[in-house]
Structure 1
Amino acid sequence: MEIAEDYEYQMDYNYTDDSNYTLTESSVFHHQSTCLKEVLCVSLLVVSVVIFLLGFFGNGLVIWISGFKMKKTVNTTWYLSLAISDFVFCVFLPFSITNMAMEEWIFGRFMCKFAPSIMFLNMFSSIFLLVVISIDRCVSVVFPVWAQNHRTVQKASVVVCMSWLFAIGLSVPSVIFRDVGTHLSRTSCYNNYTQSKHGHMIIAWSRFLAGFIVPFIIIIICYSIIIIKLRTNRMTKNNKPFKVMSALVAAFFICWLPYHVFVLLEVNHQNYDHAILTAGLKVGTCMAAANSFLNPVLYVFMGNDFKRKFKSSMLSKMENAMGEEGRTTSRYLSRSSSMDNRASTHI
């Protein structure tokens, strides 16, 4: 049976040996002690459980508020889509938690292919939505009159669907290369790149570029344009429409950067220490998962000042955080529209 070299690593990536070989008694990678005897594994297990609980209930709360309790607007459409992406990821997180604790995959080949791909669906859908929101903010500031006349919930829903379809397409390689193998009565779910010589490198770099670098460049360009425009109009103090969005973008990149770094290092794993790469991939994957529960937390604590948040209920805080952005943006669009109308009258 042809398998990847690091048969023990249970998260997303395994070390890939370009020279295929047959797994025998002498070539089995000698794994360390069980998870419950390792400090790192136990710590990551506890953190993963906390991430699941906070992410599941937090995003569920955001979905309920933005989907059923608030008026449907372009802004609530963006945040509802982000919450759904994180919620779906959290739903499948128990599969990884169980696999981590047991150090064995017990859910069959279909779930081995499907469950891990949800992580990449979450990564791509989240970053694509953040890019869409950044472009939306930029257009709203640069072309306020056009945005006020053309920003509709229907168009936002179409853009969200396109982002999800694109994210699904980029998540397909995870389904293709994921496989199940059994040795010494132990079943593992791993990435089998032995049938594609450069598959590991191509996938790692494509995910890094499409899911990190290119979106980062687009977002930076959009925010640079926004800052220049606001300074030109002497409206730099009016930064409320961008506080939540800035925090979401920062949280995404901070959480996902370690993961991408170690994934790229793993492409040339023979040049690095095995233990460091394994630990780095596990920690990086856990940090990436943490992004799924940070978003609802940011919705709460980035909306109003501390005293108002402290006095209001949790539901009110989340609603204010999401609703405030839409109200402030609307006021800015209305003000800009009036200024443009006065200018055209004078001309």
Structure 2
Amino acid sequence: MNNISVSFLTGPKTTPDPDEENAVKNDYSAAIGALIFSLVFLLGVPGNLFIVWSILARIRQRSVTTLLILNLACADGFLMALTIFFIIYLAMQSWVFGNTMCKIVFYLCNSNMYASVFLITLMSVNRLLAVVFPHTLYHLITRKVVKRVILGTWVLVMVISIPSLVFRDVKEETDDMNQTTYVCAPNHTLRRHVRFEYAFQTVAGFIIPYAIIITSYVLILKRLRETRFQRNIRSEKLILAIVIMFGLFWLPYHVINMIQVAAAWYPKDSATRKRLYGMAESTRAVTSTLAFISSCANPVLYTFAGKSYIKNNGFAFMAKLFEGTSLEQTGTKSTQFTAKDDLGKNNIDSENHTLASPLQNRC
């Protein structure tokens, strides 16, 4: 989530350069930024906690999809809790938490970015195995395998987020009135550092995962057309909605990342470099905010998806939604063939391995 707070505090630079982060006090921008983060906090923290509570307290049999949603809610909810740091940062227009917290907070922000997209990728791969390889590879998905994959995903997330610890420091700045402020900003000392961090974020956190996601859904659609499988499954629609929403929120952010990477290839005094960097700086605040808001959007999505349950189930409506996806994935009438399958199988979309006992995941 690089530059998200800095962007709200910076204005146009006379000499744009990706290695120079000069904070400009702007009360209006800071107020708008603090308001957005406050709304994100008020919506995202309770919303994601409600998802966690619904799954842990209300659902006994948890499918793979439900467990991945649980971990996604844990990641998003934890990130939303960090918004308090950004609210104070913007209100005071100075980073008052020290250099260590500067590194840790942005490290955790980037960890959430990777965790979110990796968990969504696992959802897509899980659907691929359930639909395309239901009687071969999908039978290998046991409770132990799921636990190890989720744990391994979190370990990978923590490792590949390390550049956020290295390329982030508190900088001291003095304005025209000799007032000193502190900015938690990137500390790229070389152009290759800019290219590495932003390119790595986009390739590892967007291009590769989304290539896997798109490939999975292409194969799923191909399989369904071959078998003429007619169905109306909430889990399929819910996962697809999560994938699309995440992509819409994050694509602009990664486009700006690549523009900044392109700018870093040009000499420091190049007009093209200044133009590209100026473009990135002028839109960084908006794209970073969209990316950040994505972590509080899932509870809203689930609420709309489960609105039909609200009247009859009250606060248990979300648990009912997730139970519905589990039932579909364990083989109900809605998941049966309506036409003959050339393989003679009756249920290519079953998640036979629902997990009756809770996994010890990262929540």
Distance 1:30 1:112 in 2: 16
Sequence identity (%): 27
Distance 1:223 1:139 in 2: 11
* Count of residues paired in the alignment: 318
- Aligned-pair distance for 1:341? 12
Distance 1:214 1:30 in 2: 34
Q: Structure 2-normalised TM-score?
A: 0.79
Q: 2:124: which partner in 1? A: 134
Distance 1:98 1:340 in 2: 60
Distance 2:343 2:135 in 1: 13
RMSD, matched Cα: 2.9
Distance 1:101 1:277 in 2: 24
Distance change >3 Å, CA 148–CA 53, structure 1 → 2: same
Distance 2:44 2:226 in 1: 40
Distance 2:115 2:74 in 1: 10
Contact kept? 1:73, 1:153, Cα under 8 Å: no
Distance change >3 Å, CA 301–CA 165, structure 1 → 2: same
Alignment of 1:151-162 (within 5 A): 151-162=141-152
- 2:154 aligned to 160, 164, 172, which one? 164
Report SS of the residue matched to 1:183.
strand
- What 5-or-longer segments of structure 2 have no aligned partner? 175-179, 264-272, 346-363
Contact kept? 1:105, 1:189, Cα under 8 Å: yes
2:187 maps to amino acid: N
Q: Is residue 270 of structure 1 aligned with residue 262 of structure 2?
A: no
Q: 1:91: which partner in 2? A: 81
Report SS of the residue matched to 2:183.
strand
- Aligned-pair distance for 1:16? 4.7
Contact kept? 1:177, 1:191, Cα under 8 Å: yes
- 1:66 aligned to 49, 55, 63, which one? 55
2:322 maps to amino acid: M
Q: Is residue 201 of structure 1 aligned with residue 187 of structure 2?
A: no
Superposed CA deviations along residues 291-320 of structure 1, whole A, max 9, x for unmatched, are: 1111122222224xx5x2352345322112
1:34 maps to amino acid: N
- Aligned-pair distance for 1:129? 0.8
Q: 1:45: which partner in 2? A: 34
Report SS of the residue matched to 1:186.
strand
Report SS of the residue matched to 1:106.
coil
Distance change >3 Å, CA 81–CA 212, structure 1 → 2: same
Report SS of the residue matched to 2:258.
helix
Report SS of the residue matched to 1:126.
helix
Q: Structure 1-normalised TM-score?
A: 0.82
More helix by share: 1
Q: Is residue 189 of structure 1 aligned with residue 181 of structure 2?
A: no
Q: Is residue 146 of structure 1 aligned with residue 136 of structure 2?
A: yes
Higher relative contact order (CA 8 A, sep 6+): 2
2:301 maps to amino acid: L
Distance 2:76 2:246 in 1: 12
